[in-house]
Chains A and B, each alone.
Chain A
Amino acid sequence: GAVVSQHPSRVICKSGTSVKIECRSLDFQATTMFWYRQFPKQSLMLMATSNEGSKATYEQGVEKDKFLINHASLTLSTLTVTSAHPEDSSFYICSARYGTSGGCGKNIQYFGAGTRLSVL
């Protein structure tokens, strides 16, 4: 399968600082990438959909000014958690959609390994 690389795998930061997470599709071009968040013992929650060259679409309840998403190229999307606080501590996972033809239903999403953010 295709490979999605996410970096860093783990980050610990002080409250009030900003953290940037990178997501790269290594062997395919992804016009659409997704960012998810997962709290302990819970399922993944979609935060936003990132389209190359345009503004991200955020899910209801997700603050776009706090979670800045940039998708400047077909292989790279970044998520910046601005002014992080302890309640932002979570497992952040990116995903890239492979294939765009014939509607979205059959397209496979490949996921990064996740970034565990701990805000002190």
Chain B
Amino acid sequence: DAKTTQPNSMESNEEEPVHLPCNHSTISGTDYIHWYRQLPSQGPEYVIHGLTSNVNNRMASLAIAEDRKSSTLILHRATLRDAAVYYCILRGYTGTASKLTFGTGTRLQVTL
């Protein structure tokens, strides 16, 4: 299975941008990069996903390195409601690789 590496925790001030890194050096050509987040005592929430090009949506932006071995989730203006565990997950085309397998993620703390 292709795996990802994320920092255990990060801190941010409210209203500041946050860049959450993810390394995935063994990514295969058909793996999509997915980001989910989990707020305390809730189920995970889809944030964004991409394959090769950078992606933007109302929640965040996803910057993917040219060699695809790393990516960065960007929250443009962090709020207290963004405090959560953020998971970077590779999702393959089929079979075992297509399962959404959660690692330990990055716990984001947002302070005033």
Binding site for B on A (CB under 8 A): 1, 4, 6, 34, 36, 43-46, 49, 91, 93-95, 103-114, 116
* Contact in complex: A112, B43 (CB < 8 Å): yes
10 A-B residue pairs with Cβ-Cβ distance under 8 Å, sorted by A, are A43-B103, A44-B44, A44-B102, A95-B44, A103-B94, A104-B91, A104-B94, A108-B49, A110-B46, A112-B43
* Contact in complex: A103, B43 (CB < 8 Å): no
Binding site for A on B (CB under 8 A): 30-32, 34, 36, 38, 41-46, 49, 51, 87, 91-94, 97-105
Interface residues of B: mostly helix, strand, loop or mixed?
loop
Interface residues of A: mostly helix, strand, loop or mixed?
strand
* Contact in complex: B46, A109 (CB < 8 Å): yes
Q: How far is the CA of A110 from the CA of B97 in the complex (A)?
A: 18
Contacts of A111 in B (CB 8 A): 36, 43-46
Query: A49 is contacted by which of B42, B92, B99 (Cβ under 8 Å)?
Result: B99
* Contact in complex: B46, A108 (CB < 8 Å): yes
* Contact in complex: B100, A109 (CB < 8 Å): yes
